[in-house]
Amino acid sequence: MSLEQFHRTDLYRELYAPIGIEYQISFALPSTGEEILAIALSRRETDFTDEERELLAVARPHLIQVYRNALHHSDVISRQVLRSAPFADQETLQGLGLTPAQAKVLSLIASGQSTSDIASELRISERTVQKHLQGVYRRLGVSDRSAAIHRAWQAILPSADT
């Protein structure tokens, strides 16, 4: 699209013109889910040179790797936070009306463990884990894992908006 064509668009008139942006170069990074992650560089006076475009093309794989490393790091930190959360205090979860076994299963699902991981850790069958979860759902008045975890966090951190 030429600069003149761009200037005739609503996008230019409503967004770029008021902030003085004439040139922009951008690229998207691979992402999961429905969100789109992109990097955009904008200029007012001069367009990007071929050398600058080439530099961004060379930098893109490195930026993608940095982004993937950041996601992995966030995941690791989240798991550490969840595992060290006050769920170790089973009394709080039992205070919701859960049995000790149900409280333990709930604390493990809240820390991100799968049914098979929980079964392995507790040395019980996956079916038994499912039965404990059914009891958790019934006692908490919820219908799925997410709602049970949310309810547990509300009990542990009542002032937090989880």
Task: Mark which of 52, 81, 110 sits at the end of a domain.
Answer: 81
- Per-residue model confidence (pLDDT) at position 17: 93
Q: Which domain holds residue 38?
A: 3-81
Return d(Cα 116, Cα 9) in angstroms, integer. Answer: 55
Same domain, yes or no, for 17 and 60?
Answer: yes
| Number of domains into which the chain is organized | 2
Return d(Cα 6, Cα 84) in angstroms, integer. Answer: 53
**Please, which pLDDT band fits residue 133 given cuts at 50, 70 and 90?**
very high
- Per-residue model confidence (pLDDT) at position 83: 58
Q: Give the residue among 25, 76, 87 at the shortest CA–CA distance from 50.
A: 25
Query: N- to C-terminal Cα distance for the chain?
Result: 45
pLDDT tens digits along 17-61: 999 999 999 888 877 667 788 889 999 999 999 999 999 999 999
Same domain, yes or no, for 66 and 130?
Answer: no
Same domain, yes or no, for 66 and 99?
Answer: no
Task: Mark which of 81, 98, 115 sits at the end of a domain.
Answer: 81
Same domain, yes or no, for 142 and 102?
Answer: yes
Residue 55 lies in a domain: yes
Residue 160 has pLDDT above 50, yes or no: no
Same domain, yes or no, for 32 and 51?
Answer: yes
Same domain, yes or no, for 68 and 121?
Answer: no
Residue 162 lies in a domain: no
Q: Give the residue among 28, 30, 117 at the shortest CA–CA distance from 71.
A: 30
pTM of the complete model beyond 0.85: no
Question: Once rounded to an integer, what is the mean pLDDT over residues 92-103?
Answer: 91
Task: Mark which of 25, 54, 81 sits at the end of a domain.
Answer: 81
Contact present, 128 and 158 (Cβ < 8 Å): no
